[in-house]
Structure 1
Amino acid sequence: MTDGDGEWALPEDTEDVRAALVEWYEADHRSFPWRETTDPYEILVSEVMSQQTQLSRVEDAWHAFLDQWPTTTDLAAAERGEVVGFWSDHSLGYNNRAKYLHEAAQQVESDYDGEFPDTPEELSELMGVGPYTANAVASFAFDNGDAVVDTNVKRVLYRVFGVPDDDAAFEAAANDLMPEGESRVWNNAVMELGGVACGKSPDCDAAGCPWREWCDAYQTGDFTAPDVPTQPDFEGSRRQFRGRVVRALSEHGELALDELGPRIRVDYAPDGSYGRDWLRGLLDDLADDGMVEVADGSGSTVARLQE
């Protein structure tokens, strides 16, 4: 988040930020089979397949690949052409990735006696395994990695905390946020956040984003990011908040301002920038359109849908 001088900084209550994300992830997240294993070979296969392929398509190919070559021993002994043919048949992107995966399996067998190395540095010695993939395997297989920084993570850090579009800054912020020794759950959680709640078109409220109260983008309505060069027309707009008012009143009936406000914005504060005056403006607009009735009386203002 940005400080008073416009510079980015992580929030002081970092432990609360961490706990909110992990709790959100553990309560409900997309189920992928490679999230249910700590086998480094199975995780490496998923990481290599995911580099150019949507996750929904990777799952079938991942199962089929491991059915055919369930261990590095099996893959190392396979014919190179057979592995490349599988890759091509399943439209998994550049065929050289299949070649490198085959060579990496041979390295594990010949150089590591069939046992995967468990640090990002050692994993980077495997053919075709770059820093990102090495760190991902170390994190998800051995809980022994640094913070993973992919496009989704950059987008989250940029929007939530105002981290500048700079690789070194993203890496530093990601590692400062990650709880020590918890790379497996943390990296899964923050990537899930970027994939489910904070995509190019964010879905903050519907996905129950756990970082809304800390998020610069959510508070300002500016959801630009390194891979989102222009702000979406709807997200964060007045039109979006008008829609939230209508849904809340439809669901709950008549509500006082301070009951309605928190249902519209997680950062609603009665006397704040997004408080009673801001909310009353939305309600007045909706009243002018004949959608909402606003009544003042007995020390409070209440709103209801127009009958």
Structure 2
Amino acid sequence: MSDAEPSAEEWSLPDDRPAVREALIAWYEDDHREFPWRRTDDPYEILVSEVMSQQTQLGRVVEAWEEFLERWPTTADLADADRADVVGFWTAHSLGYNNRAKYLHEAARQVQGEYGGDFPDTPAELQELMGVGPYTANAVASFAFNNGDAVVDTNVKRVLYRAFDVPDDDAAFEDAASDLMPEDRSRVWNNAIMELGGVACEQTPRCDEAGCPWREWCHAYASGDFTAPDVPTQPSFEGSRRQFRGRVIGTLREYEELEIDTLGHRIRVDYAPGGQYGRDWLTGLLSDLESDGLVELDRDGSDGPVARLQR
């Protein structure tokens, strides 16, 4: 927390909270970005959208989400799928770390095997699913069952920090978000406040242009000081370890198994067995994928180590 930030004792939410709440909900319901997962309360469809959105821009997620659900429309369909096919879909659509596909597949199997095909409906229960952390569990509980807590993501923190001088402190953000959210309305509320941060209170604010409904209460709008907590930037995908993990999976799907040097030359043009991006680098990458249950690495092959997809 910087020296200029208010302490927990110095910040407070507006007294007329019902007006604050209704202004935001009315703004959201009047006009918001249309995403297909906002038109469903199916927990499976919402879980897929949440997992896909973790590392991918929402505009790019729409096509992938629709194609995924066309191929595997229910948890039963996904649970019965070949995991390599699910991982291959993930790679082909550049949806981030492939272990997310593996976890989504395992979660579908849990829903079918442990819950009789019915999703748990509380944040605590949803966290029992493979790969589902607190944020995703709360989002699914909110948007599928209207049974969630207040969502606190980067956009929400920015809004609360600017509008009500909430300090850059996780506990303070949680308290403020919870105090603001109207009871039994987590579905519309969490969508609305995230939308506010996504289209009006961005890093470069668009208060008047987006018709921000909180301008009359917003401290930043009144003062002109739109400082916000630092937001970590996503590392570039091009040239990243994440990119080459995807290339490994995609290549092994095509060839099933490859000797390590052959694989190296197929995934990057500057591969050199003894170089910076050589056997040691590729073995480390494959070992990570092996730990994630995606790749098998046979280190005792007659012509050197051999990599193959795990089945």
TM superposition score normalised by structure 1: 0.72
Where do residues 126-165 of structure 1 align in structure 2 (5 Å cutoff)?
126-165=129-168
Any unmatched runs of 5+ in structure 1?
A: 230-307
1:23 to 21, 26, 41: 26
1:255 corresponds to which residue? none
Kept in 2: contact 1:153–1:190 (CA 8 A):
yes
1:119 to 108, 119, 122: 122
Any unmatched runs of 5+ in structure 2?
A: 233-311
Kept in 2: contact 1:29–1:192 (CA 8 A):
yes
Percent identity between matched residues is: 76
Write the letter of the residue equivalent to 2:35. F
Distance of 2:102 and 2:59 partners within structure 1: 23
Residues 1:57 and 2:60 are matched in the alignment: yes
Distance of 1:175 and 1:142 partners within structure 2: 18
User: 1:6: how far off?
Assistant: 8.3
1:77 corresponds to which residue? 80
1:13 corresponds to which residue? 16
Secondary structure of 1:213's counterpart equals coil
1:249 corresponds to which residue? none
Write the letter of the residue equivalent to 1:39. D
**Which stretches of structure 1, 4 residues or more, deviate above 6 A after TM superposition?**
none
Kept in 1: contact 2:75–2:112 (CA 8 A):
yes
Write the letter of the residue equivalent to 2:95. L
1:185 to 160, 184, 188: 188
User: 1:107: how far off?
Assistant: 0.1
Secondary structure of 2:34's counterpart equals coil
Alpha-carbon displacement from aligned partner over 1:157-199 (angstroms, at most 9, x marks no partner)? 0000000001111011000000000000000000000000000
Distance 1:204 1:6, change over 3 A: farther
RCO higher in structure (CA 8 A, sep ≥6): 2
Distance of 1:161 and 1:92 partners within structure 2: 35
Kept in 2: contact 1:178–1:186 (CA 8 A):
yes
Write the letter of the residue equivalent to 1:43. I
Alpha-carbon displacement from aligned partner over 1:2-54 (angstroms, at most 9, x marks no partner)? 99x98110000001000100010000000000000000000000000000000
Alpha-carbon displacement from aligned partner over 1:73-111 (angstroms, at most 9, x marks no partner)? 000000010000000000000000000000000000000
Write the letter of the residue equivalent to 1:143. N
- Computed over aligned residues only, the root mean square deviation of the Cα atoms, in angstroms, reads 1.5
Alpha-carbon displacement from aligned partner over 1:224-245 (angstroms, at most 9, x marks no partner)? 111369xxxxxxxxxxxxxxxx
Distance of 2:21 and 2:120 partners within structure 1: 29
1:41 corresponds to which residue? 44
Kept in 1: contact 2:13–2:164 (CA 8 A):
yes
TM superposition score normalised by structure 2: 0.71
Secondary structure of 1:214's counterpart equals coil
Kept in 1: contact 2:154–2:231 (CA 8 A):
no
Distance of 1:184 and 1:141 partners within structure 2: 8
User: 1:212: how far off?
Assistant: 0.4
1:254 corresponds to which residue? none
Alpha-carbon displacement from aligned partner over 1:52-83 (angstroms, at most 9, x marks no partner)? 00000000000000000000000000001000
Distance 1:228 1:109, change over 3 A: closer
Kept in 2: contact 1:155–1:227 (CA 8 A):
no
Distance of 1:85 and 1:204 partners within structure 2: 42
Distance of 1:107 and 1:16 partners within structure 2: 42
Where do residues 1-307 of structure 1 align in structure 2 (5 Å cutoff)?
7-227=10-230
Kept in 1: contact 2:83–2:105 (CA 8 A):
yes
Distance of 1:165 and 1:112 partners within structure 2: 39
Distance 1:164 1:182, change over 3 A: same
Distance of 1:175 and 1:32 partners within structure 2: 25
Kept in 2: contact 1:200–1:227 (CA 8 A):
no
Give the number of aligned pairs: 227
